[in-house]
Each structure stands twice: as C-alpha cells, then as structure tokens.
Structure 1
Amino acid sequence: MNRIPARILLPIIMGLVFILENTVSFYFARTLFYGETRFIPHFIIVMLVMMVVYLPRNQVMIYALVLGLVYDIYNIGIIGIYFALFPVVVYISQKLLHYLQGTFIMILLVSIFGVAISEFGAYLIFSSMKSVSIAFLPYVTTRLTTTLLFNIAYFLIIYFPFTLLLKRWKRETKGLSSTHVKL
C-alpha cells in the first residue's frame, strides 16, 4: 500500500491542528475553566517549535507566516499580530535549539518558552491598543499559568507521533535530494 508522502501530509496535519486549536479555544475553554481562570491553546506554536528541529528554518518560517496570517484573519481581525509573533517564536526557538541539544526536555522547554513569548507579546500588543482590561498580575495568575500547563499537556500527547512524521519527512527529503536523474 502506498503511503501518503510526508510533504503532503504535513500541511494537512497543520490545517487540522489549526481547526482543532480553534475548536478547543471556542468550545471547551468555558466548560473546562469557570470563573476567571482560562487557558489559550497554542497548538500551532508547539508544533512549529517541533518542526524547527527537523525542517529547514526557511520552510518553518513559511508555515509560521501563512499560519500567522490565517490565524489573524480568522481569529483576531487585525492582520499582523500573530503574523509577526509566529515567525519571531520560530526564529528564537531555532536559535535556542541550535545551541541546546534537541532532546525531549529541551524541545519541551523551548516550546513552552515559545508559547510564553507569544502569549506575552499578544498581551502587550492588546493592552497597548486598550483591548485588554486585565492587569498584568491577574493575567499571569489566571491565564498564563493555565495556558502553559495546558500546552505542556498537548506537547506530551503530540510529541512522539508528530516527531515520527517529521523524521519521515526528513528521510523522504534526503532521498529526493540525493537521487540524480541521468539521461
């Protein structure tokens, strides 16, 4: 049986993750956490950081730009916030993982750091535009901590299957680039 190439499967999975992230944020946030405590799923950022380990940075940047633009259009209505934040997170993650070993723990820590950068950056942008009315300390205690914990749980669930797909993509790409056609 023919397997779907990873280069085709990866964009499909990222699209499904985009839909999953929106579904979780819109429908389950209210039912899981009542009152002031909320979480914000950043599944795309977690997966972009994992992609940095196996894919070329330029390709991950393209994913970050496209997904950031779609995220802004679909969720925010202001183009530019996540369109800028996603590539910044990818760039910082790539630099950190270049100097750190790409072990499970390091990728987890860099992923959570990327989520924190994205959350804090969005908070700064929205608070400067006066669209957020929550003060910084309540924001950290009620939203940022639960967001980080929720995204850690997502990382633990998705890490091994997604890493297998990325390793397959790397193997397939290596095989394509090493084949030469002779006429």
Structure 2
Amino acid sequence: MKNYNMRYYFPIGLLIFIFLDGSLSNVFAREFFTGGISIESLLVLLWLVMAIFYGEVDRLMLWAFVAGLIFDMYYTGILGIYMIIFPLVVYLNRQVCRFFTSSFLVVLLIYLIDLTLVSALAFLANSLIGLANISLADFFVADLGPTLAYNLAWFAILYIPIKNFFEKFS
C-alpha cells in the first residue's frame, strides 16, 4: 500500500525551503552580500536532492519546475533561469543516482556538484543577458566559493533530519 503522506508533505517542505532561502538571505544580507562576496542560499536544491535519494515523490520534475518558477518570480525577477535549471538538475541526478548507493558522502558530493552546476549556469545565463558583470575568476572566488561553503554547512546540519523525514514518510 502506497503512503500518500508525501503527496502533501513534500510541497509543504518545498515551500518552507523556498521561504527559508529568501528569509535567510534577507536576515543575513549584510553578511551574505558584502564587499566582493556574494552568498546564494540554495536550500531548495538540498530539498530536491534529498527527495531524489531518499524520497518517493510523484512528479518530482514538475515540482522542480514549480520551485524554479517561484524562485525566479520572487528572488530573481527573471522567469526562466531556475525554472529550467532545477528540473535539469533533478533529471541529471536521477540518471546518476542509479549508479551510487545513498550515503552521506555520496549525497554530499553530488550536492556539491549540483551547487556548482546551478551557480555556474545561473551565472552564465545572467552573463548572457547582461546582469552579471564580473569575470569568471571573480565569480569563482567571490560567489561560488562562499556559496558552496554556506550551503555545504547547511547540508551537514540538515542531512540527518531530512533523510529521516523522507525515510519515514516515503
């Protein structure tokens, strides 16, 4: 018998993580966006990656699209960037996760790759439309590095609770 709780819990969790991304960025704006450093909170990506490895979520590609649409509408103001990137990451992760066991280290490394991919694709898209005006080297040092450190710290903190949640309700 299939557990239908995830049908309701997953979208609620997705909205909570989208809200947390914006709220943490707002509350810590002085720390996240100082001088030459910019940190992007991508906890919604953590939620999606953990759903791939530990959850049984119906229509995850659709939810990734919806998360990208909301993320674009409220945080970037440009429709299309995350609306395409999040489903792409979900698709790629589904293809890759078949070859690996779900362990802390494997999920951590895949999340690291996903963060790099999402940040780099968003930077590339913003560069193409003229919104990013820094060099690639500056992007790696001032944006990608701090973003990876911040999001990987949250991964270490939230891994066990999110894993337990998905295992319990999937």
Q: TM-score, normalised by structure 1?
A: 0.84
* SS of equivalent residue, structure 1 residue 61: helix
Tell me the residue number matched to 2:47: 47
**Backbone CA RMSD of aligned residues:** 1.8
Tell me the residue number matched to 1:85: 85
Tell me the residue number matched to 1:136: 136
CA separation in 2, counterparts of 1:129 and 1:8?
A: 37
Contact 2:32–2:39 under 8 Å retained in 1:
no
1:4-153 matches, within 5 Å, as: 5-31=5-31, 34-56=34-56, 59-153=59-153
Cα deviation digits, residues 107-144 of structure 1 (max 9, x gap): 01111111111100000000011111111101101110
Contact 1:69–1:83 under 8 Å retained in 2:
yes
CA separation in 2, counterparts of 1:62 and 1:152?
A: 25
CA separation in 1, counterparts of 2:7 and 2:155?
A: 22
CA separation in 1, counterparts of 2:88 and 2:56?
A: 15
Partner amino acid for 2:47? Answer: M
Cα deviation digits, residues 58-114 of structure 1 (max 9, x gap): 522122011111111111222111000001111111222111221110001111111
Contact 1:68–1:85 under 8 Å retained in 2:
yes
Contact 2:54–2:102 under 8 Å retained in 1:
no
* SS of equivalent residue, structure 1 residue 99: coil
Contact 1:29–1:39 under 8 Å retained in 2:
no
Structure 1 residues without counterparts, runs of 5 or longer = 171-183
Q: TM-score, normalised by structure 2?
A: 0.90
Instruction: Report how many residues are paired.
Output: 167
Shift in CA distance, 30/68, structure 1 to aligned 2, threshold 3 Å? same
Q: Which runs of at least 4 in structure 1 moved beyond 3 Å after TM superposition?
A: 55-58
State the shift of 1:56 in Å: 4.5
CA separation in 2, counterparts of 1:152 and 1:61?
A: 23
Contact 2:25–2:32 under 8 Å retained in 1:
no
Structure 2 residues without counterparts, runs of 5 or longer = none
Contact 1:57–1:94 under 8 Å retained in 2:
no
Shift in CA distance, 17/154, structure 1 to aligned 2, threshold 3 Å? same
User: Is 108-117 or 28-37 further displaced after alignment?
Assistant: 28-37
